[in-house]
C-alpha cells in the first residue's frame, strides 16, 4: 500500500474534464514533482490532494485512508503557497502557530514546536515581525515554517520559488532539498520550471493538457522521454528535434539527416530497432540533446557510439561554463553544447561529435517514442 495514492482521479467543471484519469502512487519519503506548462492541471491536482478542490471521480488516499470529501485541515497535510499566503495581521510567531492553535494544541506545546522550527529554519530573530517587514526569502522561510510546525504526513508545495529572484531561488532550492533529506518527509511539489523538477525530485510527473505524460525518475524522464512533449519540455536548451529518414538493413538500423550543405549524414543506431519501429524509408523524428552534439574533445568518454561529423557553425553563445553553438541540420537550427574553450568561430566548418547513446527517435504522427 503506497503512502499517497491517487487512483483514477479526474476533475471536471460541468461537462469540461480538465484532469483525465490520473494514477500516481507516492511512497513514504518520496519527493514527487508535478511539472508542466501553465494550464496543464498540475495545480488543480495539488489542490485536490490538499482538499481545496473536490475530486470529481476516482479515489485519493493518504496512509491507506480515503480522503475524498475530508476537510483540508483533517488530512494532516501542510501547504506552501506561491504567494506564501502569510497572514498579514499576525506576527511571524503567530503565523507559524495559527494552525496548532486551530487544532487546540496547548500553548506550551505550541511554543516548543515553534522554537524547534524557528531554529531549524533560522528565523528566530524574525518571530516578532509582521510579514510586511520581511524580504521575499524570509517570507518563504516563514511559509515553510508554518508548514513544518504541523508535522504533517504530506507536504504540498505550490510553485513556492517562482516569486523569488534567480539567485535566491537557487539557494532556496538547495534548502528545500536539504530539508527533505534531513526530515525524510513525503513531498508533492508543483512547478513549471523543469530545472527545479530535475534537481529536487526523486520522481517527476510531467503533465500536459490534463494528462500525465510520463512518470519516472529524473534520469528516466531526461534520458528516455516517452513522447515529444516530454522530450522538448524537459531540458534547457531543449532537445533538438529533427525530421529524418529511417534506414533498415537486416537487423541493423540507422537514421539519415542532412548537414548544413544539404549532404546526407547517416547516424547508425547501435542497438538496432524493434520490428514495429518502422519500415525502411519511414519518416521519423530524431531527438538530440544539446550536450549530445558537442566538440570531439568534449564528448562523453564512456559513450559507446559516437558519430563524428563536420558542419558549419552559424552562431556561438559563450555562456561561461559552456559555449552553445547554433548550426543547421535537416534544414533547421540545431543547438549544440561545447566546452567553454572549444575553438569555434561563427561561419566556419567545425568537427562535431554526436553521442548516439543519447539519441532518441519519435513517430512524427503519434509523437510517441520509437524504441
Partner 1 sequence: MAAASAESAIRTGRFTRVFLYLVLLLFALFYLLPFGIMVLNSLKPLSEITGGNMMALPQTWTLEAWRHAWSQAQIGVEPTGLRPYFWNSIKMVVPAVVISTMLGALNGYVLTKWRFRGDTILFGLMLFSCFIPFQIVLIPMARVLGVTGLAGSTAGLVLVHVVYGIGFSTLYFRNYYAAFPTELVRAAQIDGAGFFRIFWRILMPSSGPITVVCVIWQFTNIWNDFLFGASFADFDSQPMTVALNNLVNSSTGVKEYNVHFAGAIYAALPTLLVYIVAGRYFVRGLMSGSVKG
Residue 236 engages partner 1 in binding (rule: CB under 8 A)? no
For residue 26, what is the enclosing H or E element?
Answer: strand 16-26
**99 is a contact residue toward partner 1 (CB under 8 A):** yes
Helices within the chain (DSSP H only):
42-50, 92-102, 107-121, 136-148, 166-183, 194-200, 218-223, 228-233
Instruction: Kindly tell me which residue out of 2, 3, 21, 52 binds partner 1, with binding defined by CB under 8 A.
Output: 52
Least spacing, CB of residue 84 vs partner 1, in Å = 8
Only one residue has cell 519519435, namely: 362
Cell digits of residue 88: 498579514
- What is the three-class DSSP state of 203? strand
Q: How far is the CB of 99 from partner 1 (least distance, A)?
A: 4
Residue 12 or 83 with smaller CB distance to partner 1 = 83
Binding to partner 1 by residue 85, rule CB under 8 A?
Answer: yes
DSSP 261-285: TS-EEEEEETT---GGG--TT-EEE
- Give the count of residues interacting with partner 1 (CB under 8 A): 22
Rounded distance between C-alpha atoms, residue 35 and residue 29, angstroms:
19
CA angle, 246 then 248 then 249, to 5°: 155
Instruction: Tell whether residue 135 is a contact of partner 1 (CB under 8 A).
Output: no
Does 77 participate in binding partner 1 (rule CB under 8 A)? yes
* Length of the chain (residues): 371
* Dist CA 284 CA 307 (whole Å): 19
Task: Pick the stretch among 54-62, 71-79, 180-188, 349-357 that binds partner 1 (CB under 8 A).
Answer: 71-79
Residues 6+ apart with CB under 8 A from 179: 120, 144, 148
Please give the angle made by the CA atoms of 71, 72 and 74, to the nearest 5 degrees.
70
Residue 70 engages partner 1 in binding (rule: CB under 8 A): no
234 binds partner 1 (CB under 8 A): no
Is there binding between residue 78 and partner 1 (CB under 8 A)? yes
Q: Smallest distance from the beta carbon of 64 to partner 1, in angstroms?
A: 21
CB of 127 to partner 1, least distance (A): 18
CB of 152 to partner 1, least distance (A): 9
**In which element (H, E) is residue 309 found?**
strand 306-318
- Residue 105: CB atoms within 10 A of its CB come to 17
Cβ-based nearer residue to partner 1, 102 or 275: 102
Would you count residue 103 as binding partner 1 (CB under 8 A)?
Answer: yes
Looking up cell 566548418 gives 349
How large is the greatest C-alpha to C-alpha distance in the chain, in angstroms?
77
Are the C-beta atoms of residues 126 and 92 closer than 8 Å to each other?
A: yes
Are the beta carbons of 31 and 203 closer than 8 angstroms? Answer: yes
Q: Which one, 24 or 100, has the nearer CB to partner 1?
A: 100
Q: Tell the smallest beta-carbon distance from residue 83 to partner 1 (Å).
A: 5
Residue 144, interface with partner 1 (CB under 8 A)?
Answer: no
60 makes contact with partner 1 (CB under 8 A): no
Residue 81, interface with partner 1 (CB under 8 A)? yes
Between 130 and 339, whose beta carbon lies closer to partner 1? Answer: 130
Cα 314 off chain centre by: 31
Q: Which of 57, 89, 122, 217 binds partner 1 (CB under 8 A)?
A: 89
Instruction: Figure out which of the listed residues 24, 26, 79, 188 binds partner 1, where binding follows CB under 8 A.
Output: 79
Residues in 323-352 that interact with partner 1 by CB under 8 A: none
Alpha-carbon span 53 to 46, nearest angstrom: 9
Of the pair 99, 216, the CB lying nearest partner 1 is at 99
Toward partner 1, which CB reaches closer, 74 or 219? 74
Closest CB to partner 1 among 98 and 211?
A: 98
Please tell me whether residue 72 binds partner 1 under the rule CB under 8 A: yes
Residues of this chain that bind partner 1 (CB under 8 A): 50-52, 71-74, 77-79, 81-83, 85, 87-89, 98-99, 102-103, 146
Amino acid at each position: 500500500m503506497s503512502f499517497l495514492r491517487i487512483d483514477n482521479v479526474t476533475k471536471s467543471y460541468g461537462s469540461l474534464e480538465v484532469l483525465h484519469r490520473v494514477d500516481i502512487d507516492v511512497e513514504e519519503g518520496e519527493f514527487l514533482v508535478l511539472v508542466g506548462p501553465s494550464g496543464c492541471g498540475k495545480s488543480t491536482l495539488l489542490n485536490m490532494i490538499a482538499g481545496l478542490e473536490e475530486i470529481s471521480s476516482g479515489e485519493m488516499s493518504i496512509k491507506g485512508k480515503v480522503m475524498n470529501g475530508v476537510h483540508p485541515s483533517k488530512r494532516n497535510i501542510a501547504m506552501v503557497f506561491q504567494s506564501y499566503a502569510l497572514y498579514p495581521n499576525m506576527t511571524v510567531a503567530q503565523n507559524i502557530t495559527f494552525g496548532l492553535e486551530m487544532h487546540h494544541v496547548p500553548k506550551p506545546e505550541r511554543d516548543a514546536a515553534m522554537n524547534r522550527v524557528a531554529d531549524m529554519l533560522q528565523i528566530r530573530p524574525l518571530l516578532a515581525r509582521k510579514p510586511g517587514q520581511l524580504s521575499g526569502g524570509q517570507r518563504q522561510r516563514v511559509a515553510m515554517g508554518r508548514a513544518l510546525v504541523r508535522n504533517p504526513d504530506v507536504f504540498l508545495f505550490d510553485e513556492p520559488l517562482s516569486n523569488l529572484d534567480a539567485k535566491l531561488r537557487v539557494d532556496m532550492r538547495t534548502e528545500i532539498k536539504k530539508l527533505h533529506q534531513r526530515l525524510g518527509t513525503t513531498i508533492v511539489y508543483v512547478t513549471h520550471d523543469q530545472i527545479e523538477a530535475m534537481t529536487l525530485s526523486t520522481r517527476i510527473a510531467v503533465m500536459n493538457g490534463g494528462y500525465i505524460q510520463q512518470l519516472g525518475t529524473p534520469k528516466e524522464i531526461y534520458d528516455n522521454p516517452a513522447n515529444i512533449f516530454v522530450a522538448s519540455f524537459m531540458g534547457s536548451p531543449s532537445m533538438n528535434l529533427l525530421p529524418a529518414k529511417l534506414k533498415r538493413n537486416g537487423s541493423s538500423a540507422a537514421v539519415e539527416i542532412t548537414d548544413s550543405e544539404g549532404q546526407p549524414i547517416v547516424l547508425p543506431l547501435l542497438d538496432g530497432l524493434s520490428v514495429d519501429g518502422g519500415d525502411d524509408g519511414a519518416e521519423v523524428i530524431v531527438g538530440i540533446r544539446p550536450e549530445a552534439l558537442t566538440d570531439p574533445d568534449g564528448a562523453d568518454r564512456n559513450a559507446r557510439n559516437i558519430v563524428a561529423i563536420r558542419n558549419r557553425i552559424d552562431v556561438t553563445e559563450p555562456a561561461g561554463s559552456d559555449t552553445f553553438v547554433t548550426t543547421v541540420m535537416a534544414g533547421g537550427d540545431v543547438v549544440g553544447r561545447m566546452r567553454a574553450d572549444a575553438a569555434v568561430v561563427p561561419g566556419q566548418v567545425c568537427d562535431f561529435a554526436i553521442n548516439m547513446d543519447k539519441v532518441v527517435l519519435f513517430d512524427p504522427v503519434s509523437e510517441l517514442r520509437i524504441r
